[in-house]
Amino acid sequence: MNYKLPNDRQVVDALKKVLSEHKTINSQTKLQHLVTEELKKREPLYNISEKRLRVIAVRTNFVSIKIFTRDTEEKTPERCPVCTTPLKYPSKEWESEIASEYVCSLCSYRTGKTKRVPVRYRFSLVVNYHSLNPNGF
pLDDT of residue 1: 67
Residue range(s) defining the domain that contains residue 92: 8-126
Residue 132 lies in a domain: no
Per the prediction, the chain carries an average pLDDT of 88
At CB < 8 A and 24+ separation, what contacts does 25-34 make? Answer: 25/122, 25/123, 25/124, 26/120, 26/122, 27/120, 27/121, 28/53, 28/54, 28/120, 28/121, 28/123, 31/57, 31/121, 31/123
pLDDT of residue 135: 56
Residue 95: pLDDT band with limits 50, 70, 90: low
Number of structural domains found in the chain: 1
pTM of this structure:
0.83
